[in-house]
Amino acid sequence: MRHSVPIAPQFYVTAPQPCPYLDGRMERKLFTALQGDDADRLNDTLSKQGFRRSQNVLYRPACAECSACLSARIDVNRFAPSRSQARVMKRNAWLDRRATSPWATEEQYRLFRGYLDSRHASGGMADMDLFEFAAMVEETPVRTRLIEYSDPRADRGAERGLYAVCLTDILDDGLSMVYSFFDPDLERASLGTYIILDHIAIARELELPYVYLGYWVPGSQKMDYKSKFAGVEVYHRGRWAPIGDTASYHSATHPLSVDPIAEQVARIRLPDGGTGSASGGG
């Protein structure tokens, strides 16, 4: 029997699991499948509404009593580097940037493993093997590139001296940094900051207005760096706005801080102008 992908995506909610950002809390995600001929348009549209991509799924937080996670992006036209960021750009200007197809290599995986073991040894990706890493990189139904940063002096036919990598989606209004990792031994190089700064430069080259950073979480120290870039906006209460004073945000829980899932889904705008529909699930 022949089956076709439904025109309107169905939205589901994951079962609660420990929050990776704030201790002692449980997280849930609202998600939908990303597939079919319209995948790029769906990714473009939902990214503007705070969703993120992971392989062939789009998701955003939908926790029961917490609304701390806010999708963040940089308005490229409003960005100007701070003095410390200008130093980071100068310090790493010698690196060779190379954009490739989303194809995983063993060299990338070795860098990825070193990064996880040093920075996220207890995180949800800590046990990811080579095959799971390849799936993360290669299972994409949208326009995706791997941006590699390496030693230009290395022999291209051998180990290339890879220092940093970012899996990046190309949206109709910007670049979405899906996942980045780098050599943890080069802490003074501030490679994580440099990857973001270089993506701002790439967006300007492509005349794209935004760089999407993922989620900023007030109260989470490891997410605080995202608020340090001029021109940062957050998706809050259904619209994008400049982040402003970060002290005005809080991570307190409250039973009325999050709208019911059905109401959240009903407000999701789809590429064809319609709205989402909820289904039962995890």
Q: Which of 117-121, 129-133, 220-224, 259-263 has the highest mean pLDDT?
A: 129-133
pTM of the predicted structure, to 2 decimals:
0.91
Which runs of consecutive H residues, i.e. helices, occur in the chain? 39-47, 83-91, 106-119, 130-138, 191-205, 261-266
Residue-wise pLDDT for 36-75, tens only, equals: 889 999 999 999 999 999 999 999 999 988 989 999 999 9
Domain ranges of the chain: 10-71+249-278
Condensed to tens digits (0 to 9), the pLDDT of residues 77-127 reads 999 999 999 999 999 999 999 999 999 999 999 999 999 888 765 666 778
Calpha distance 125→116 (Å, rounded): 8
Q: Which residues contact 179 (CB under 8 A, 6 or more apart)?
A: 136, 166, 167
Q: pLDDT tens digit string along 212-241?
A: 999 999 888 888 899 999 999 999 889 999
CA-nearest of 144, 165, 13, 27 to 97 is 165
Mean residue pLDDT of the chain comes to: 90
Contact 241, 234 (CB under 8 A): yes
222 in Cβ contact with 23 (< 8 Å): no
**Is residue 60 within 8 Å of residue 27, measured between CB atoms?**
no
Nearest of 39, 215, 32 to residue 143 by alpha carbon: 39
Tell me the two tokens of residue 241: 């706005």
Give the model's confidence band at 2: pLDDT under 50 very low, under 70 low, under 90 confident, else very high.
very low
